[in-house]
Structure 1
Amino acid sequence: MIPTNRPRRNRKNQVIRDLVQETRLTAHDFIYPLFLIEGQNQRLEVKSMPGIYRHSADRVIDEVGAAVALGIHTFAPFPSISDALKDPLARESANLDGLYLRAVADIKRQFPDVVLMTDVAMDPYSSDGHDGVVNQETGEILNDASLEILGQMALAQARAGADIIGPSDMMDGRVAWIRDVLDSNAFQHVSIMSYTAKYASAFYGPFRDALDSAPKKGDKKSYQMNPANRREALRELALDELEGADMVMIKPALSYLDIIREVKDHTTLPVTAYNVSGEYAMIKAAAQNGWVDGEKTMMEVLLSIKRAGADAILTYFAKEAAEVLRRG
């Protein structure tokens, strides 16, 4: 029997394919992560992330300007802190004269219209390399003792000019705690983008290389989520909504597209996804070896994340993808 229903009619030329396209990427979808290091006039490539650099505070301004010119307006800075400044209580995280908060303030001063999403977790500043306070005798990550530190970190970031606070630590109750600290200090206008489902993933290695923030002992499985669990993400989502999150994030993205869709189907909050360092590095390595077309693979991956339900994507591909989109 000759078919009468022919889906190929909607694929027969580029104009029709464009007309019926369901998912579209724009530069406005991207959050561009930035790595910060001490010093002056420094721009050092991360070996495990080709094309990604660690910038001193003066040079990061140039990187922000280049990204803004491509239509990117949201940035997520992360600091690489000297070991000499790290301690078990992450005191450097609240130092307004330190690398991170100085850079945040400077970016906002020079680019007042960009949005800065800052990271709240102890690991960049902790001598233990964990996202919370470590019991030095047992190795346990102390949830409630960490909340006070995370709250003060968030407050310092708000004072420096952060628009969105991004708690990535996965401590229980931290969204409510941070919301209370911000509101009590007249920062009601500062948003919280909670890392709602952050999995204990093997895809974080290059990021930890960039920041030298790997745990000194143990792993993060007692607070980051089990990659085998799906329904648990909905429990975390319900708690974050109750505690006052303004947006939610899934991390990683590419191996967790089902979680992005699950969360999207169960919330009215904006959903973001973190296309993490290992996902970036895999594509770059395969492209360098000639195994895949790097540009096409990059765009397909980003499209898949948005198609799964992400309203915004935190990705190291942001600048490169924005250039592709600009070319059309």
Structure 2
Amino acid sequence: MRPTQSPFPGTRLRRTRATPALRALVREDRLSVDDLIWPIFVCDGENTRQPIPSMPGVERLSVDLLVEAARQAADLGIPAICLFPYTDPALKTPGCEEAWNPDNLSNRATRAIKAAVPEIAIMTDIALDPYNTHGHDGIVVNGEVVNDESVEALVKMGMAQAEAGADILGPSDMMDGRIGALRQALETNGHKNVTIMSYAAKYASAFYGPFRDAVGASGALTGDKKTYQMDPLNRREAMRLIERDLSEGADMVMVKPGMPYLDICREAKDTFGAPTYAYQVSGEYAMIKAAAANGWIDGERVMLESLMAFRRAGCDGVLTYFAPEVARILNRG
């Protein structure tokens, strides 16, 4: 669309910027609490909080405190939370069997939250890195992250999460064929209404470091993830991956990381029109927090502006560690 406008001075684009009221009337997008998904880290124990040094203000929470956090999120109007477990290293194995244990940390947390705060949607992570002695998202055989064997394990993991009550499954592993296999298993096993938000365009990014600290995968990781996560220079491949995952049964798609890949968000939304999300990842969060702590930026304004960028780029929502802080600001008007 090309707008029709008269030559200057008939058109003075500054007219509609002159007052707060006029700016509100012509604002093209809105940032709402409804756009937020809050990623939370869960750990073993009771009444336990474990600060994550590389993510100031973020903590691992034991299940009892996680339930309280879920209630807080629901009271703020945040529609969904996303769970990431910090698994006891003693439970990590080459075969990743703890990933589909019905009583693993993530599944216990899901059941506890569903019992106490049924109105909030629970998203879970499907990847093997929290359970893998090698720190990889898939099973490693002779130094190679193998695809088909990993998909079998991921499907078992997803079924355990669905049985526990997860509303949204988030396959973040980037194995080929996992969306179709997962969708078929959900349909076959009576979980027809469980949704899939595919990490369809997940890049092999340097922005994930603090997250790996948070889930305890940093020390375990051998090698890198470039054989299954995307090359940061590729755009067309992202569209192919998103199209594939939608064709296999994904209900929603995600781009990860967020702000460095806003062009991918915009193109994905314009091309496919599907519900599109981005993950404002740990490195993005940590940079804003560190710069604000040093007085180099206005932390609150930059936080809000960063989330506005996702909406402008076409995202229907964003996973962000800022969710509670943003919700409080938006709720006070």
TM range (shorter): over 0.9
Distance across 2 between alignment mates of 1:28 and 1:153: 28
Counterparts in 2 of 1:37-116, with a 5 A limit?
A: 37-116=43-122
Give the equivalent residue in structure 2 for 1:325. 330
> Which of 204, 212, 227 in structure 2 is aligned with 1:222?
227
CA distance in 2, matches of 1:242, 1:71: 32
Asked if the contact 2:52–2:214 (Cα under 8 Å) also holds between the matched residues in 1, the reply is yes
Structure 1 residue 279: deviation in Å? 0.1
Q: Structure 1 CA distance, aligned partners of 2:51 and 2:25?
A: 40
Aligned to 2:37: 31
Residue in structure 2 matched with residue 195 of structure 1 by the alignment? 199
TM-score (ref. length: structure 1): 0.98
Contact 2:41 2:61 in 1 (8 A): yes
1:182 and 2:186 equivalent? yes
- CA offsets per residue over residues 78-98 of structure 1, 9 Å max, x none? 000011000011111111122
Task: Write the distance in 1 (CA, Å) between the matches of 2:332 and 2:190.
Answer: 43
Structure 1 stretches of 5 or more lacking a match? none
Question: How far apart in 2 are the matches of 1:129 and 1:265?
Answer: 35
- Provide TM-score, normalisation by structure 2: 0.96
Q: How much has 1:53 moved relative to structure 2?
A: 1.0
Q: Secondary structure, in 3 states, of the residue corresponding to 2:226?
A: coil
Between the aligned partners of 2:65 and 2:247, the Cα distance in structure 1 is 40
Counterpart pick for 1:153 among 152, 157, 178: 157
> Which residue of 2 is the match for residue 274 of structure 1?
279
Matched residue SS, 1:266: helix
The within-5 A match list for 1:272-311 is 272-311=277-316
Query: Identity across aligned pairs (percent)?
Result: 53
In the alignment, the residues of structure 1 paired with residue 120 and residue 69 of structure 2 have an alpha-carbon distance, to the nearest angstrom, of 13
Alignment gaps of 5+ in structure 2 = 1-6
Q: Partner amino acid for 2:185?
A: V
**C-alpha distance in 2, partners of 1:312/1:89?**
34
Deviation at 1:294, TM superposition (A): 0.1
SS at match of 1:124: helix
Judge conservation of contact 2:126–2:172 (CA < 8 Å) in 1: yes
DSSP-derived class of the 1:183 partner:
helix
After the TM superposition, which residues 197-212 of structure 1 pair with which residues of structure 2 at under 5 Å, given as runs? 197-212=201-216
| CA deviation map 1:139-198 (0-9, x unaligned) | 111001111100000000000000111100000000000011111101111011100100
In the alignment, the residues of structure 2 paired with residue 161 and residue 117 of structure 1 have an alpha-carbon distance, to the nearest angstrom, of 10
How many aligned residue pairs are there? Answer: 326
Q: CA RMSD in A?
A: 1.0
How far is the alpha carbon of 1:67 from its aligned partner?
1.5
Q: CA deviation at 1:2?
A: 6.2
